[in-house]
Amino acid sequence: MGTDITPVIVGALQCQKNSFLKEFQTIVISCKEEKPEPSAKNKKSKSKSVDQEPQTTKYAVELEDTILFPEGGGQPSDKGTIVTSNDKEYGVSYIRRDQLRAVHLVDEPIEVGTKVNLKLDWKRRLDHMQQHTGQHLLSAVLDKYELPTLSWSMGELINYIELPRSLTDDEVDKISEEVNDKIAESIPISVEIPDKELVNKQKMPDDYDLDKGILRVIKIGELDQNPCCGTHLSSTSQILSIALLHQTSVRGTNSRLHFLAGDRVRKYAIYSHGLLKKSSQELSCQFDELNNKIQQLNINYKKTLKNESSWKEEIANYQSNEILTKLETSQIAFIHRPDVGLDYLTFIFKSVSKSIPKDKTVILLSGEGQTGGSLIIFGSNLDKINEITKSLQSKIKGLKGGGKGKWQGKINSFEKGELEDALNYLKSL
């Protein structure tokens, strides 16, 4: 169902004309039921914070105009509420762009022709604008260092800009200082709609009609101008702050510079301080002593691992001799230790396999309970190995593995009674 009213196109929406408008009156011009299937868009979405299109029945509502921004330009969809004259509220969980149209997804149908009041989730919008405008400013400063922004992504907490190379520590310090100086300067930010021929169209979506659409350019004073469909702040001072964090290497020499802006900086500082406080309490030291404390713990840990490995090997050699002694009078020998892992069993295998008599079979089993364990069966009698393997697999459901001459497997977990049944079987051999 629909009306003859033509909706305002994406590029000229109220949210793009005035990104600070929190309420707006409009009219429902279309409402269609949707039962979406998993879409390629959901699978390919690069932004972790993007709200995935729903997989349950929704109603796609078109309005004559909207203050709710549809996902695009690296900026997630807004959220908000549609309120009718009888004060019934319809939560808008996601707004998408269908070519030049903005579509609002709600849980219930709204009658076409209904006059409604739109209410914006302002806290979410302001956060998105601080991150998005912050990215524009950061990219502008990086351009001065001949570091073009290849892509960017807005996360739930931390964002990143992908660059052609990583930054040195000195560059990070200089760029951080410069970008925050620009914030303090309160540089005005404006939206312009120049002649389309003057706009760089390389990053425009393939399904956006360039002839009928509107190409917007976001200007940060004389510092930067870039085409963008998103909602933005009106001054750099509203970004509040930008914090540059770590870098990660991707695709050749490319590097991702992680950052956050606006009120997220405050939240991150509180979160980080909490971690430092808890860590200092756990380690019984002051904040400035944490690094030395952790280094010393790491040294001690490595020493402990080395000693543990040596002790394991010594005990494994002792048990290897026990196995070889038993094989002098028996065709089969087995051991089970609940407190060791595959590395311990491997020690024994390496020791015993060099001296195991012909036609003898050895079973090495470790672990217990929900933590599971490991199993190694080896010897020259392949039929016996297969027989034991099948019997154990019938008793331990989570046992998976394979191999010839040496069968090696893993048990994800022992269900109730499985280990006892397996041990009773091995004792009977």
| The last residue of a domain, from among 120, 137, 158 | 120
| The last residue of a domain, from among 99, 120, 141 | 120
**Confidence at residue 210, expressed as pLDDT on a 0 to 100 scale:** 72
Asked if 274 and 324 sit in the same domain, the reply is no
Asked if 138 and 226 sit in the same domain, the reply is yes
If one counts every other C-beta atom within 10 angstroms of the C-beta of residue 224, the result is 18
Asked if 226 and 321 sit in the same domain, the reply is no
pTM of the model: 0.75
The SS3 call for residue 164 is coil
411 assigned to some structural domain = yes
340 assigned to some structural domain = yes
**Confidence at residue 126, expressed as pLDDT on a 0 to 100 scale:** 98
Asked if 161 and 225 sit in the same domain, the reply is yes
382 assigned to some structural domain = yes
173 assigned to some structural domain = yes
User: In the beta sheet, which residues pair with residue 249?
Assistant: 255
Among 99, 98, 118, residue whose Cα is nearest residue 110: 118
The dihedral formed by the CA atoms of 27, 29, 33 and 36, expressed in degrees to the nearest 10 = -90
8 assigned to some structural domain = no
235 assigned to some structural domain = yes
Amino acid identity for residue 256 in this structure? R
Could you say which residues of the chain have pLDDT below 50? none
Asked if 149 and 273 sit in the same domain, the reply is yes
The model's pLDDT over 52-62, given as tens digits with 9 standing for 90+, comes to 555 688 999 99
CB 409 within 8 A of CB 397: no
Asked if 200 and 335 sit in the same domain, the reply is no
Asked if 326 and 405 sit in the same domain, the reply is yes
Annotate 213-239 with DSSP letters as a single string: S---EEEETTTEEEE--S---SBGGGG
Instruction: Compute the mean pLDDT over every residue in the chain, rounded to the nearest whole number.
Output: 91
**Confidence at residue 414, expressed as pLDDT on a 0 to 100 scale:** 94
- The CATH number of residue 421's host domain is 3.10.310.40
| The last residue of a domain, from among 263, 283, 303 | 283
| Count of structural domains, the chain | 3
Total residue length of the chain: 429
- The CATH number of residue 203's host domain is 3.30.980.10
- The CATH number of residue 59's host domain is 2.40.30.130
Asked if 149 and 241 sit in the same domain, the reply is yes
Alpha helical stretches, state H, 45-102? none
The SS3 call for residue 397 is coil
Asked if 206 and 154 sit in the same domain, the reply is yes
The model's pLDDT over 208-227, given as tens digits with 9 standing for 90+, comes to 677 788 889 999 999 999 99
Among 108, 124, 109, 150, residue whose Cα is nearest residue 67: 124
Give the phi and the psi of residue 197 in degrees, each rounded to 5.
-70, -20
Sign of CA dihedral 79, 85, 86, 87: positive
User: CA geometry: angle at 390 spanning 387 and 394, to 5°?
Assistant: 140
**Confidence at residue 42, expressed as pLDDT on a 0 to 100 scale:** 58
Asked if 116 and 227 sit in the same domain, the reply is no
Helices 263-283 & 290-327, crossing angle to 10 degrees?
60
**Confidence at residue 56, expressed as pLDDT on a 0 to 100 scale:** 82
Distance, in Å, from the CA atom of 91 to the CA atom of 79, rounded to the nearest integer, reads 8
Asked if 156 and 232 sit in the same domain, the reply is yes
Residues of the domain holding 89: 14-120
161 assigned to some structural domain = yes
Asked if 236 and 164 sit in the same domain, the reply is yes
309 assigned to some structural domain = no
